[in-house]
Structure formats: structure tokens, C-alpha cells
């Protein structure tokens, strides 16, 4: 059981370039989300989705786009990378059921550096 | 809005020492509270949780009690091991739903043999 899979693990971009961070889960979870982790700031929610075709903004959505065309996949797109987007990005998922809704399963992270 | 404040790290202890990592929160109503742990090179994983006042979450020798009167959820362990070295995050979930977890800044713990 793979859980939550993120690719790539590492990426270096130049300012202005675009890229997509991939996230896939095989647990049939309804909820998926993207967080960024910065030193001294914990994790901050970028975007989230409560099901296929439904997405919403989190705390720090500017500069990022998402879509949810399938239950399994939730890619995060950087349209024009900026140095402020240098961070570690985590994808997470959870079940909508009563016992699962509180618990997030995280991917291993994607470290992005924007020069 | 909701917020979580953790004690600043890093924290360095010797093996078998007693551990406390402080966590306080600000939230309306009755949030659910969590501790997540991040081992080197890995994503976060749930360590323990409590969903109502006076609940005690426990796992792997770690404990935390949901104290509404002091708005706290301090993490404790009686005897730490080298393998406990990691970053620990306190988090809360308010009324907005499962995905809107609010995290503290994290506390890096190093245990020396």
C-alpha cells in the first residue's frame, strides 16, 4: 500500500519558470490538500479538495493552482515561480468518514528551490 | 482565527530523560488537538490526538491531555530514546473541516545517547 506519493522529491527552478508537483493517493480518500513547510512557521495550507471536481483555497494560495479531476490525483501548479516559493511541499489526504476525518496521511515531501 | 503556539526549540536531552514540549492554542469552540511527528527525511505522521476536553491521547509512550481551562495540549514522555529524535508539531482542527489543520511552528528534539 503506497499511501500518498509525491513527485519529484527535489526540484530546482529559475524565477519565472512553471512546474507541477504531483500527488497521488491509493486509499480512496475524499480529502486531499497541499501544505508548505518553512523554517519557524510550521505547515501552512495552500489549497485543499473535498472531492473530485471541488477545490478551495487555504491560508497561502497565491501563486499556486490546483485541480482535482480524479479521486486519486491532486497536482499543485506553480505558474511563475518566485524565490519566496522556495519551500518543502507536503501533500496530505484523509477519509471523510467519522473515524478518519481527523487524521491526515502525508506524503514524503517535495523540496523546491527557486533561484 | 485559530492558532497554535509551541515552545521554541531546538530541545536536546540525554537518553532516558523526561520530555515536555509545551503547546497552547487559541480557537473558538471545541477544537480537536493533535501531535504529529516528522522523522528525518519523511513526511509527518500522527502521533496522538484528543477530540474533547480532558481527553488524554497516548502512543509510543507519549501522552498529552486536552486542557480547556488552560488551552493547552503539552506533549510528555517519561523516558526518551535516541529514536525519538524528530520534529514534533502540535496542531488543531476547528469547525472548518478535516483539511484545515492549523499547525504550530514545530519543535526539533534531539536525544543524545
Q: Is the pLDDT of residue B8 over 60?
A: yes
Summarize the confidence of residues A38-67 as an average pLDDT: 92
Per residue in B57-107, pLDDT tens? Answer: 999 999 999 999 999 999 999 999 999 999 999 999 876 555 678 899 999
User: Distance between the two ends of chain B, CA-based, in angstroms?
Assistant: 41
Cross-chain CB nearest to B103 (options A42, A108, A109): A42
| Contacts with A31 from chain B: Cβ below 8 Å | 97-99
Q: Tell how far CA B62 is from the center of its chain.
A: 9
Interface residues of chain A, partner chain B, Cβ below 8 Å: 4, 31-33, 35, 40-45, 48-50, 58, 90, 92, 94, 96, 101-109
- Parallel, antiparallel or unpaired: strands B56-59 and B62-65: antiparallel
B2 vs chain A: nearest CA distance in angstroms? 12
Chain A to chain B, count of Cβ pairs less than 8 Å apart?
Answer: 64
Mean pLDDT (chain A) is 91
| Contacts with B100 from chain A: Cβ below 8 Å | 45, 48, 58
Instruction: Flag if A102 and B44 touch (Cβ within 8 Å).
Output: no
pLDDT attached to residue A75: 98
Per residue in B37-53, pLDDT tens? Answer: 999 888 899 999 998 89
Instruction: Flag if A41 and B41 touch (Cβ within 8 Å).
Output: no
Nearest CA to B32 out of B64, B77, B80 is that of B64
Residue A19 CA to residue A17 CA, distance in Å, equals: 7
The three cell numbers locating residue B60: 509510543
Amino acid at each position: 500500500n503506497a499511501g500518498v506519493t509525491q513527485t519529484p522529491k527535489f526540484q530546482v527552478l529559475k524565477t519565472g519558470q512553471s512546474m507541477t508537483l504531483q500527488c497521488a493517493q491509493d486509499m480512496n480518500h475524499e480529502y486531499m490538500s497541499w501544505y508548505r513547510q518553512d523554517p519557524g512557521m510550521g505547515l501552512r495550507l495552500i489549497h485543499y479538495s473535498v472531492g473530485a471536481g471541488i477545490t478551495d483555497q487555504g491560508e497561502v494560495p497565491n501563486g499556486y493552482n490546483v485541480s482535482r479531476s480524479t479521486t486519486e490525483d491532486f497536482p499543485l501548479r506553480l505558474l511563475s515561480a518566485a524565490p519566496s516559493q522556495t519551500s518543502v511541499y507536503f501533500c496530505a489526504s484523509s477519509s471523510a468518514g467519522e473515524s478518519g476525518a481527523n487524521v491526515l496521511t502525508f506524503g514524503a515531501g517535495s523540496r523546491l528551490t527557486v533561484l | 482565527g485559530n492558532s497554535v503556539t509551541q515552545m521554541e526549540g531546538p530541545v536536546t536531552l540525554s537518553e532516558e530523560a523526561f520530555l515536555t514540549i509545551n503547546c497552547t492554542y487559541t480557537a473558538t469552540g471545541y477544537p480537536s488537538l493533535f501531535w504529529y511527528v516528522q522523522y528525518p527525511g519523511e513526511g509527518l505522521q500522527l502521533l496522538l490526538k484528543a477530540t474533547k476536553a480532558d481527553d488524554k491521547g497516548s502512543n509510543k509512550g507519549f501522552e498529552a491531555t486536552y486542557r480547556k481551562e488552560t488551552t493547552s495540549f503539552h506533549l510528555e514522555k517519561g523516558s526518551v530514546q535516541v529514536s525519538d529524535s524528530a520534529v514534533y508539531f502540535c496542531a488543531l482542527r476547528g469547525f472548518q473541516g478535516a483539511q484545515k489543520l492549523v499547525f504550530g511552528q514545530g519543535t526539533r528534539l534531539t536525544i543524545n545517547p
